[in-house]
Amino acid sequence: MRRTFLTWGIAAAMLALTTGCSFSHNDAAALSGTLEAEELPVVAEVGGTLLKLDVDEGAAVKKNDILAVIDDRSYALTIKEAEAALMQATARLEEAKAGSRNQTLKKGAAQVQQAASSVTVAQARVRQAKANLDRVQDQMSQAQSQLEGAKQTLAYQQSRLQDTNWLFASGAVSKRDLDAQAEVVNQAQTQVNQLTAQLSSTQAQYAAAREDWEAAQATVGTSKAQMDSAQADLDLLQEGSTDYNLKALLAAQLQAQAKLDQAKLQEEKTQVLAPADGSILRKNVTQGELTKAGSTLFTMMKKDQLKVKVYIPEADLSHVQVGQKVAVKVDAYPNEQFPGVIRSIADKAEFTPKNVQTTAERTKMVFAVTVAMESGFDKLRPGMPADVYVTEQVGAK
């Protein structure tokens, strides 16, 4: 039968009447709680698809056991890229140490010339694209002007048609004159429609020509950047292996090596290892799931680490201290006591938790006391009800 805070209160009161204090070295008081595990999250340090989950809930694991495997293909590709960059940086450094060769200089000069030719071609394309853009712009302006003139003509002929209608109604002109003016209006409207379509087509041509001109300008910029890079490489070759150049190339090699080391480290992290001996309390993911870096894949219970949280009335707080020895009993082993030690005492008081049986006790102010178990890990399990007995007086050696 679990002891509650009522048990504590009665025991303390009886001890106070008979001995004049709340606790006695020979007469222990009991506090009730539940065994809890020391939980340890197992976190993915890199993201990716979970290819394997090698453990289930309840499984015992040892430190560095593989718990999960994340798809490493993208990380392997990053390693290859970093290895290639390191090889290139190393080759440049070795070449600089060996000195500039004539063949290398010729090759560098040829690359500069080729890049310069690309710039020339790109600039010619810009000029051609600009000329085409100007031509289409002139056509568009002309089409706009023609359309405005046609609209004015249409408005004028429509006004004359109104006048002709009035004259026809008064008998001043014939039906033939009226029909002739209506035909003039129709022709003017047709002209407006045709010129409107022509303007739309010209505007589309202008947009395409402008896009082509902008693309040509971008090509010039790219070509110039390539030429500048080729020229810089040639200058470096012509200067030879100066101390400054060697230091810069060495720094580039070290940076490439660091990136390779980082890529390998990321790939290693695709194997999720157990951080300590213990057992799996919860498995939070499933195989095939896409996980992010920082996600908790498992929750572990550290081996040989259990605790009990109990609550002590404020009046009896002076009778407990951190480091004080206690005895713990559980219903599953009624004839055994398991040693423990008070690991922490809360700084602030709180109301008794609602899972205490009586309403009166739930209104008391208490302090949370955490007891760490020292043995019995082969028998004790999280979730077991436990009674904690304070068997050592404060200050006892």
Contact 47/297 with Cβ under 8 angstroms?
no
**pLDDT for residue 194:** 94
Confidence (pTM)? 0.45
CA 60 to chain CA mean position, Å = 32
> C-alpha dihedral over 321, 325, 331, 336, to 10 degrees?
-170
Checking if the pLDDT of 257 tops 50, the result is yes
The band of 358, judged by pLDDT with boundaries at 50, 70 and 90, is very low
Tokens of 47: 């993201």
> What is the CATH architecture of 5-70+278-390?
Beta Barrel (2.40)
CATH number (1.10.287.620, 2.130.10.30, 3.90.1150.10, 1.10.10.10) of 100-239 reads 1.10.287.620
Task: Give tens-digit pLDDT for 82-92.
Answer: 899 899 888 88
The band of 397, judged by pLDDT with boundaries at 50, 70 and 90, is low
Q: How high is the mean pLDDT of the chain?
A: 82
Helix (H, G, I), strand (E, B) or coil at 79: helix
Tokens of 237: 């070759």
**pLDDT for residue 185:** 93
Contact 147/191 with Cβ under 8 angstroms?
no
**pLDDT for residue 183:** 95
Task: Give tens-digit pLDDT for 2-31.
Answer: 333 333 333 333 333 333 333 433 444 588
Q: How far apart (Å, rounded) are the C-alpha atoms in residues 82 and 160?
A: 81
C-alpha closest to that of 95 among 237, 193, 195:
237
C-alpha closest to that of 218 among 129, 131, 114:
129
> Which DSSP symbol is given to 352?
P
Q: So where are the chain's domains? A: 5-70+278-390, 100-239
Query: Per mean pLDDT, which range of 3-7, 152-156, 304-308, 376-380 is the poorest?
Result: 3-7
Task: Give tens-digit pLDDT for 215-225.
Answer: 888 888 888 88
Contact 164/170 with Cβ under 8 angstroms?
no
256 vs 243, higher pLDDT: 256
Q: Are strands 60-61 and 278-283 parallel, antiparallel or unpaired?
A: antiparallel
Packing angle of the helix pair 73-98, 243-268 (nearest 10 deg): 160
Q: How far apart (Å, rounded) are the C-alpha atoms in residues 117 and 94?
A: 30
Task: Give tens-digit pLDDT for 38-52.
Answer: 888 999 999 999 999
Mean pLDDT on 74-78: 87
Mean pLDDT on 183-187: 94
Task: Give tens-digit pLDDT for 133-181.
Answer: 899 899 989 989 999 999 999 999 999 999 999 998 998 889 998 899 9
b/e burial code for range 352-361 (CB count within 10 A of at least 16 → b): beeebeeeeb
